[in-house]
Structure 1
């Protein structure tokens, strides 16, 4: 299947592209304009950002010129943003309003709780539990008002997910965006999400900002050489082949195009090799510390 057309149907009925363009650490109006031009030209239709990435406004400005360039309308693209840890609870509306203004949109396709803990509060503070529940209620209201089309979470582990599903007020999270790659993958969490129809979306698929350890892993390199693909393409396809969505980022046209050119299959024997690499290494922050 053409990876640019590979989509997942969320609970709402809306379709989310399984391959999106991540923008973490990509800042500056000129750079954003350039990479989004490459991304839209390559076929990406999902743009992933967040309040704390400090690039929403530049993305909004870039889309004003780039959508017409590619004969696209707002409804032709899928925008994800995230609630910052500083705006849990009663501050949800303020953060969402700012993100909508920054992006120049009247709705966001998917809005995620970025982190299960609160800013300036100990990760061990029991209040995190009640505040998460209150935050979810505010996200439900935002969805009902039409400001967001779907809501979900990011960096939620098994404890956080099971807690949310017990107190979701009839509104299941559509997506859980987490770190996921052959050096760090939680099979129990994947099975739990898939059992409940929740899409797992991977970030740090290539190992994060400093990805040399994962990209150069001997098993990854050997399989890439055998398939005549890059190690990055193999890592991305490994997740996609497990029905896990991906949001790779890139700065060069070459990498941006390659990251969506995933119309190949990894043989099952090689999938097993990648899934059983003995190295265990987490490259991003650890939500397991958050009560």
Structure 2
């Protein structure tokens, strides 16, 4: 396929709507094979994190594989994230470690992974100060060009409002869990108001949504897979997605979401599944 469509971040930089998630993708060989399959399928964005422990393997795979596909560093968009253990005074060191591990010259998008701090209770009142300190360090590295864009992950509406009131550089992106059972309407509205890109993770609900009867009904009527329906539901609303897989066939199939549309009635039926259900961690209790 040709490269997936892109969205324009508030930095002016384009980011592909489809990226490869790399959570739980571990080991040099597994990362290499997944990146090879993804580049062959047309992926140009890759999402990692310090806590995934695969930044070095991802960077090495890209350095080796980009020439094979006639690509350069500028042709791919790399996201990584600050570990919760580095929240606060260790943020500069943590971000520089990610830069060193990836070894790709710069990171296109770097996120604060979690609003809390590893080792502190979620209600601890040091959490707001720690994430504010982290943001200052990311702003500094952004100013140096080492982090081309900066943003956050797993922030609630309250965390976002707090950040928007204090930041010098506004976040380019918010990455959160998003699927038909968790439509995140308040967060999406807030992001739209402030020009922040809203990006989905866990679009398939850790795989559990693939068995949902309505999603399968829509998939059968469209002659598509349940995964393709879930990804299409998001991108049809302008929400970028990061499906993760190490299976070359699934990696390819996850790109096949731009040559069909869901009917408005099916979009509405899928969105009506919204019940606030999370398959992943809940940040709402973090002070």
* TM-score after normalising by structure 1: 0.96
* Structure-to-structure mapping, 1:30-69, within 5 angstroms: 30-69=29-68
Residue of structure 1 equivalent to 2:190: 192
* Structure-to-structure mapping, 1:27-176, within 5 angstroms: 27-169=26-168, 171-176=169-174
Q: How many aligned residue pairs are there?
A: 286
Secondary structure class of the residue paired with 1:148: coil
Shift of 1:186: 1.2
**Is the Cα–Cα contact under 8 Å of residues 2 and 42 in structure 2 kept in the other structure?**
no
Residue of structure 1 equivalent to 2:225: 230
**Is the Cα–Cα contact under 8 Å of residues 4 and 260 in structure 1 kept in the other structure?**
no
Deviation per CA, 1:230-270: give whole Å up to 9, x if none: 00000001011111110001111110011111121000000
**Is the Cα–Cα contact under 8 Å of residues 183 and 281 in structure 1 kept in the other structure?**
yes
Secondary structure class of the residue paired with 1:244: coil
* TM-score after normalising by structure 2: 0.97
Deviation per CA, 1:143-164: give whole Å up to 9, x if none: 0011100000000011101111
Residue of structure 1 equivalent to 2:268: 272
Shift of 1:279: 5.1
Q: Does 1:251 align with 2:228?
A: no
Shift of 1:189: 0.8
Deviation per CA, 1:106-128: give whole Å up to 9, x if none: 21000000000001011100111
Question: Following the alignment from structure 1 to structure 2, what is the Cα–Cα distance between the partners of residues 19 and 66?
Answer: 19
Residue of structure 1 equivalent to 2:213: 218
Secondary structure class of the residue paired with 2:97: helix
Residue of structure 2 equivalent to 1:205: 203
Question: Following the alignment from structure 1 to structure 2, what is the Cα–Cα distance between the partners of residues 11 and 203?
Answer: 20
**Is the Cα–Cα contact under 8 Å of residues 177 and 202 in structure 2 kept in the other structure?**
yes
Q: Does 1:290 align with 2:264?
A: no
Shift of 1:5: 3.3
Question: Following the alignment from structure 1 to structure 2, what is the Cα–Cα distance between the partners of residues 132 and 3?
Answer: 39
**Is the Cα–Cα contact under 8 Å of residues 3 and 19 in structure 1 kept in the other structure?**
no
- Structure 1 runs not aligned, ≥5 long: none
Question: Following the alignment from structure 2 to structure 1, what is the Cα–Cα distance between the partners of residues 84 and 73?
Answer: 28
Q: Which portions of structure 1, spanning 4 or more consecutive aligned residues, are displaced by more than 6 angstroms?
A: none
**Is the Cα–Cα contact under 8 Å of residues 80 and 109 in structure 1 kept in the other structure?**
yes
- Root mean square deviation, CA, Å: 1.2
Residue number among 160, 178, 193 corresponding to 1:180 in the alignment: 178
**Is the Cα–Cα contact under 8 Å of residues 3 and 261 in structure 1 kept in the other structure?**
no
Secondary structure class of the residue paired with 2:205: coil
Question: Following the alignment from structure 2 to structure 1, what is the Cα–Cα distance between the partners of residues 183 and 149?
Answer: 25
